[in-house]
Amino acid sequence: MEIFDLTIHEMHEKLLAKELSSVEATRALLARIESVDDRVNAYITVTPETALAEAEAADRRIAAGDAALLTGIPVGLKDIFVTKGIRTTCGSKMLENFVPPYDGTAVARLKAQGAVIVGKLNQDEFAMGSSTESSYFGATKNPWNLEVTPGGSSGGSAAAIAAREATATLGTDTGGSIRQPASHCGCVGLKPTYGRVSRYGVIAYASSLDQVGPVTRDVADAAIMLGAVAGYDPLDSTSVDTPVPDYLAGLGAGVKGLKIGLPEQYFIEGLDPDVKRSMDEAIALYKSLGAEIRAVSLPHTEYAVATYYLIATAEASSNLARYDGVRFGHRSEAAKGLAEMYAKSRAEGFGPEVKRRIMLGTYALSSGYYDAYYLKAQKVRTLIQQDFLNAFREVDLLLTPVAPTPPFRIGEKLADPLQMYLSDIFTIPVNLAGTCAMSLPAGFCKDGLPIGLQLIGKPFGEEAILSAAYAFERETEWHKRNAAL
C-alpha cells in the first residue's frame, strides 16, 4: 500500500509508531498531486513550501507526545475557505488574486490539531453548480472516468480523495455540494446540521443553507474530521452552542432495532436502474443487520427544488453584491466612469452560472415580486422542514439515493440548467430542513462509476448516521475500491 492510499486513522497509527513521518507523508501526497493532477484538475493552488513547514512542526509535536488525531495528516481545502496568506479564489475570476489576511474557523481548528494543508481545491464558481464545470480554472474530472463529472460544487474535494491526492478534504454543502460529489467519486461525504460547524471564514453563497463538512475515504475518517471542526463559534451568529459528541467512539453502536425510513417521494419512477439496485441491496443489508425498515412520506418534496432556487439565489444576490471592483474583487480596466466600472467589473468577473443566479435572486427580491416568490418560498421551506420532523417521530433516520443517476458526462447538462439543477433533487430538501445527512459508497453502475447511499439524520443526529454508515461499511467492500488513474 502506498502512503497516499492510507486513511487518516491508518496514517495516524503509523505516525505514532514512527513508521512514517509527516514530512514523508506530505512529500508522498505532493508527489501524487504532481503526477496525476494535470489530468484530474482537483487543485487550484498547491502549497508545497508551507505544507512541508507544517509537516516538520507536526513531526516535532508527535515527538513531544502531543499528537492529536489530525497531527501531520495532509488535508486539502475547498477554495471557498479563507486561508491566511494562501490565495482563495472561490473558483472565480472575481477573486483570482485574493489573498486573505486570516484563517476561517474550520481551517484554524484543523491547524490547531496539527493538520498539514497541502492546497486549495477546485469548485464550481462561488459554489454554484453540480458538476464543477463552472470553475474559472477549468472543469475537474472524475478519477473513475476522466470524461465524466465528479459532481459539484465540491468536485475538487471529492476528486482529490478518489485520486488519492489528499488524505482528507473539507467541502461545503448548500444543496448537496458535499454529498453528490462524494457519491459520484466513491467517497464518504458528510453534511452536518446547520449550525454544527462554524461558517466564519467561508465565502458565502446562501447563508441560511451553507454548511461545512468533510469528504473522506471511510466513515471513521469522516467522524475524525467532523470532531475536529464541529462546535460553537462566537464569530458565527448561526453557530449552535451544543456539546460535540465523540463521534469516533460512537461508531460501533450498530443498527439492531434501529428504525430506518424510506421516503416514498425519493423512490420514484425514472430512478436509474443501477441506483435502484444499489438502494435495494443496501435496504436488504440493513434488514439483515436487524434494522426495521418503514415507509414514510415527505409530501412537500416536489416543491424543494423550486423553493431552493428562490431562496438560494436571493441570498446569493445579496451576498455577491459586495463584489463590485471597489471593495472586493476584479476591477475592470476598460471603464470610463464609476457606474461603468461597477457594471464591467461584475460582467467580466462573474461567469454565466453566477450571473444567472444573481439575476434570478434579484428578480425574486425585487419590489412587487418579493411576496409572490421569496416570501412564499420561505413558507414552503417551513413545510418541508416540518415533513422531516414528522418523519423523525416515526423513524430514527432516513435512507435514500444521493442522486437519481450515476455521474454524467462533462458538458452533458451545460446547455440545460434545469436538468443540472434536478441533479440535486434528493439532497436539496435536507439543506432546506437544516438537518444532517451523509453519502457513503454503495455500489457501481454498469459503466463502473460509483453510486452513493444517503443517510439522513435528525437535527444534530450526526452520531446516529455515522454509526449506521459504519455498520454498512463493515459489511461491504465498496469503499475499498480505488479509481485506476
State phi, psi for 23 to the nearest 5 degrees. -60, -45
Is the confidence at residue 484, as pLDDT, over 90? no
Strands of 47-172 (E only): list them. Answer: 74-78, 116-121, 168-172
What would the DSSP string read from start to end of 22-69?
HHHHHHHHHHHHHHHHHHH--EEEE-HHHHHHHHHHHHHHHHTT---T
The model's pLDDT over 249-295, given as tens digits with 9 standing for 90+, comes to: 999 999 999 999 999 999 988 899 999 999 999 999 999 999 999 99
Is the confidence at residue 385, as pLDDT, over 90? yes
Which is nearest to 439 in space by CA: 425, 423, 455? 455
Q: CA–CA separation, 153 vs 412, rounded Å?
A: 16
pLDDT, averaged across the chain = 97
Is the confidence at residue 485, as pLDDT, over 90? no
Average pLDDT over every residue of 341-350? 95
pLDDT number for residue 419: 87
Is the confidence at residue 386, as pLDDT, over 90? yes
pLDDT number for residue 220: 98
What are the residue numbers of the active site? 78, 153, 177
Residue spans of the domains in the chain: they are 3-257
Average pLDDT over every residue of 18-35? 98
Is the confidence at residue 118, as pLDDT, over 90? yes
pLDDT number for residue 424: 94
Q: Could you tell me the maximum CA-CA distance found in the chain, to the nearest angstrom?
A: 71
Fold of 3-257: Amidase signature (AS) enzymes (3.90.1300)
Only one residue has cell 463493515, namely 474
C-alpha cell at 91: 473558483
The model's pLDDT over 416-430, given as tens digits with 9 standing for 90+, comes to: 888 898 889 999 999
Q: Grade residue 327 by pLDDT with cuts at 50, 70 and 90.
A: confident
Which is nearest to 201 in space by CA: 110, 136, 123? 110
Task: Say if pTM beats, i.e. exceeds, 0.85.
Answer: yes
Average pLDDT over every residue of 428-434? 98
pLDDT number for residue 30: 98
pLDDT number for residue 335: 87
